[in-house]
Amino acid sequence: MNHSRRTFVSGAGLAVVAGLIPSLPFAQNLRLRAYWWGNPDRDKRTKAMLEAYSKKSGTQIAAESLGWNDYWTKLATQTAGGNAPDLIQMDYRYLFEYARRGTLLPLDKLLPLPDFSPQEKDGGKVDGKLYGINLGSNSKSLVYDTAVLAKVGVNTIDPNWNWDDFARIGAEIIKINPGKFWASGDNSRQETGFEQWLQAQGKNLYTPEGKVGFTRDDVAAWFDLWDKYRKAGLIPAPDVAASNNGKIEENELTRGLAAMHFIHSNQIVAYQALNKSKLAIAPFPRTKGGTSGHYIKPSQMMSVSAKTKAPEEAAKIVNYMVTDPEAVKILGIERGVPCSAAARTLLLSEVDALGKMQLDYVAMMTKLAIALPPPPPKGAGEVENLLRRVGDTVAFGKLSIKDGAQQFHSEVESILARA
Amino acid sequence: MASSAAGTLGSAAAAAATAAAAAARRRRDLTGYAFLIPWIIGFLCFTLGPVSASLYLSFTRFDLLTPPQWIGLDNYVRMFTADARFWQALKVTFTYLLLEVPLKLAFALAIALLLDKGLRGASLYRSLFYIPSLLGGSVAIAVLWRRLFEGNGTLNQILLALTGWQGPAWIANPDTAIYTLVLLAVWQFGSPMIIFLAGLRQVPQDLYEAAAMDRAGPVRRFFRITLPMIAPVVFFNMVLQIIDGFKVFTPAFVISSGTGGPVDATLVYTLYLYNEAFHYFRMGYASALAWVLLLIIGSFTCVSFVTSKYWVHYDD
């Protein structure tokens, strides 16, 4: 009995060891991990691009993508566990946090990128060192359903239009299907909208020192603007808006409830993929007497983990991604307009109407753009959700505009103080 | 002398026998423990270890990327004095519990009583009613719930067709969102129902026969016989449901896309804890929240046990 048990145990042990053996040779192959947030279209392109690279170089690349929110959760836990992916898609908002904690590799020497303009590299610099390679530029934009706007006699939107024009066009749109179809989604709860509106007046969300850059009155005026639109029936009731938590499929435009919404210009690709009617982009409406308020943002960046076993190879992949004609063609313009001039020229002959629209838009906005705002301080990620929450509270009438503005302002202050 | 020798011999033999028995028992126990080892290692490494680590972390500031900093009781002080969302999360959780536990238990008991009546095809119904409990905690069902209770969801389409009344967006309205979660929980009445059924089967039939002879009606029989007899089962189900209720997470997460919205109406405690930990990377604060939740659940279970002696009767 004992004997047979021992035989069994050692037999099982051998089986386990034997099971391990075949995997050993794999461990010697160079295998890197790439990680990005995205959408189905981006995932398809990125995977195809990585496969093309693997075929050429023999480097195996494990690819993984998640939605925006879950992405940062998983990245933080993996980084904390010393298990960060080698290639990390990075956002301007988080670049500083990750770089200053020494989790990213400085890329100045590995990636000289002579083809990039200094401005396009600056967006990825922290304390003078390059940590993020710009994968494409975008700017905020208003996306609209061309058929609906044509129906109310608007064929193109004047890039200098203002909020009064927006309200005028909106009033026509809501006559099409009263109570069922609105001019735009509720933007009072979107941090990007608020930021844009502040910048059009020469203000910012945050000061260069990482303090709150706006006043309570600014918040109140912002809530007030949207409250007027809500009362005028230009935007849907709060319970429609509250179903939109930032995903493209939850957006009022995608759900066929509104003719316009506020997005980043590169997202037009993903929005068009989910919308039947033809979409187009235009600048945000201006505040009367204000500037465009738009800036050119690195839509996404690629960073390399400080712990990667193969810094050169990782840098080579990034370089391939942003400069190699093969990769540029596969990735297209889904992450925004490429920074490499050669890549842009190449894409000009390659892109479809949607890509052309983006190229033209970013070219136009480059002329109108203001400087890149100061980097968001630590904790800024929370403010996005805070505005959604307080904006909804005001929209549902559970807080007055004045109290809502007060609450938002003081909570932002305490978030920044706590971070 | 002889007898005492025999006694000594006897007791020596007895002692030897006891020793042998003890050795055998030890060996048997050891075998038992040997089989338990994987589980014990798992418990020590993956449960006890993290739980004690979280107690330490609850006294620190820890953002995952930099080492934890000791800050004493600050997390706890903040929670009780400066965090409105903590109280909101408690309010939502208690509202949920107060509605969900009694409703679910009542519903489960009612269905169990029906099935106990020896309905034809009772076993089929029993399986059917149990299905929601199997599916209930899943993401797929929460997504389905979203579709049902949206502004233009199935429920409102039915209401519109039947009554011409356009219902609100149940899930996106802060006044009604929590009830959709309660309904989802009540719908998963299967597992308490099965336990109730088992309890009902154990009530001696002669009590009912005697009661019937004394002309006690069905209502009287239920309150005077059934309920007291199954009180231990009710108690067991209640404690389990309270603990489960405190731990509700998935439906609130899916229905609100992880935000606890609209306007924090579905911000159940665990969801708040999760967001603090994994969205805002306040691991220290989240650990403190977890310990407070542990104490709350512990004290509720204690109170249930202490008060149970006034209403739970054990036969044996």
Whether residues A171 and A63 fall in one domain: no
Q: Specify if A12 maps to a domain.
A: no
Interface predicted TM-score of the whole assembly (ipTM), two decimals: 0.81
pLDDT confidence band for A21 (50 / 70 / 90):
very low
Q: What is the mean pLDDT of residues A18-27?
A: 44
Can you give the pLDDT at residue B1? 42
**Cβ–Cβ under 8 Å, residues A254 and A244:** no
Return residues 245-274 of B near A (CB < 8 Å): 256-259, 261-264
The total domain count for chain A is 2
Tell if the CB–CB gap between B262 and A392 is shorter than 8 Å.
yes
Over 90: is that where the pLDDT of A290 sits?
Answer: no
Strand, coil or helix: A378 = coil
- Mutation choice for A interface testing from B66, B148, B263 by most A CBs within 10 A: B263
Over 60: is that where the pLDDT of A54 sits?
Answer: yes
Report which DSSP code applies to A249.
G
Q: What are the tens digits of pLDDT across the range A332-359?
A: 888 999 988 899 889 888 888 888 899 9
B252 CB neighbour count, 10 Å cutoff: 28
Over 80: is that where the pLDDT of A13 sits?
Answer: no
Give the CATH number for residue A78: 3.40.190.10
Higher-confidence residue: B126 or B55?
B55
Whether residues A175 and A211 fall in one domain: yes
Q: Specify if A17 maps to a domain.
A: no
Whether residues A158 and A286 fall in one domain: yes
Q: What is the mean pLDDT of residues A176-194?
A: 93
Q: What are the tens digits of pLDDT across the range B93-112?
A: 999 999 999 999 999 999 99
Can you give the pLDDT at residue A35? 96
Whether residues A176 and A230 fall in one domain: yes
Q: Specify if A21 maps to a domain.
A: no
Can you give the pLDDT at residue A243? 83
Whether residues A124 and A171 fall in one domain: no
Over 60: is that where the pLDDT of A377 sits?
Answer: yes
Highest mean pLDDT out of A368-372, B56-60, B158-162 = B56-60
The residue written with tokens 């994994």 in the block is B278
Over 80: is that where the pLDDT of A369 sits?
Answer: yes
Round to whole Å and give the CA distance between B189 and B128: 11
Q: Specify if A353 maps to a domain.
A: yes
B57 CB neighbour count, 10 Å cutoff: 22
Q: What is the mean pLDDT of residues B287-313?
A: 92
Over 90: is that where the pLDDT of A376 sits?
Answer: no
Q: Specify if A175 maps to a domain.
A: yes
Q: Which of A80, A245, A398 sits opposite B257 (nearest CB)?
A: A245
Whether residues A256 and A225 fall in one domain: yes
Q: What is the mean pLDDT of residues B70-77?
A: 96
Can you give the pLDDT at residue A241? 86
B50 touches chain A (CB under 8 A): no
Round to whole Å and give the CA distance between A254 and A277: 10
**Cβ–Cβ under 8 Å, residues A53 and A323:** no
The residue written with tokens 């770089």 in the block is A99
- Mutation choice for B interface testing from A243, A257, A392 by most B CBs within 10 A: A243
Q: Where are the alpha helices (DSSP H) in chain B?
A: 2-42, 49-57, 74-82, 84-116, 122-135, 139-149, 154-163, 177-187, 190-201, 205-213, 218-221, 227-229, 231-246, 250-255, 269-278, 283-308
Strand, coil or helix: A145 = strand
Q: Specify if A332 maps to a domain.
A: yes
Can you give the pLDDT at residue A368? 87
Q: What is the mean pLDDT of residues B265-282?
A: 93
pLDDT confidence band for A22 (50 / 70 / 90):
very low
Q: What is the mean pLDDT of residues A39-50?
A: 92
Domain that holds residue A197: 140-294+378-418
- Of B293, B286, B285, the C-alpha closest to B71 is B285
pLDDT confidence band for A61 (50 / 70 / 90):
very high
Tell if the CB–CB gap between A240 and B169 is shorter than 8 Å.
yes
Residues of A in contact with B258 (CB under 8 A): 69, 245
Q: What is the mean pLDDT of residues A196-205?
A: 94
Whether residues A345 and A397 fall in one domain: no
C-alpha distances out from residue B28 to A1, A7, B17, B23, B66, Å: 15, 20, 16, 8, 48
Show which of A316, A334, A360 is a domain's final residue.
A360
pLDDT confidence band for A15 (50 / 70 / 90):
very low
Round to whole Å and give the CA distance between B127 and B120: 13
Over 60: is that where the pLDDT of A5 sits?
Answer: no
Contacts of A165 (CB under 8 A, 6+ apart): A158, A285
Over 80: is that where the pLDDT of B118 sits?
Answer: no
CA-based diameter of chain B, in Å? Answer: 104
Whether residues A88 and A187 fall in one domain: no
Strand, coil or helix: A298 = strand
Q: What is the mean pLDDT of residues B143-149?
A: 85
- Smallest CA–CA distance from A76 into chain B, residue: B64
Residues of A in contact with B257 (CB under 8 A): 245-247, 250
Whether residues A195 and A244 fall in one domain: yes
Whether residues A178 and A232 fall in one domain: yes
Over 90: is that where the pLDDT of A395 sits?
Answer: yes
Can you give the pLDDT at residue B7? 53
C-alpha distances out from residue A294 to A11, A145, A367, Å: 68, 21, 10
Can you give the pLDDT at residue A351? 84
What is the overall mean pLDDT for chain A? 89
Q: Specify if A372 maps to a domain.
A: no
Tell if the CB–CB gap between B280 and A76 is shorter than 8 Å.
no
Estimate the crossing angle of helix A68-80 against helix B269-278, to 10 degrees: 60
Can you give the pLDDT at residue A114? 86
- pTM for this structure? 0.84
Q: What is the mean pLDDT of residues A252-272?
A: 93
Q: What are the tens digits of pLDDT across the range A227-246?
A: 999 999 999 999 888 888 77
What is the overall mean pLDDT for chain B? 88
Q: Specify if A320 maps to a domain.
A: yes
Whether residues A259 and A400 fall in one domain: yes
Whether residues A256 and A404 fall in one domain: yes
Can you give the pLDDT at residue A355? 86
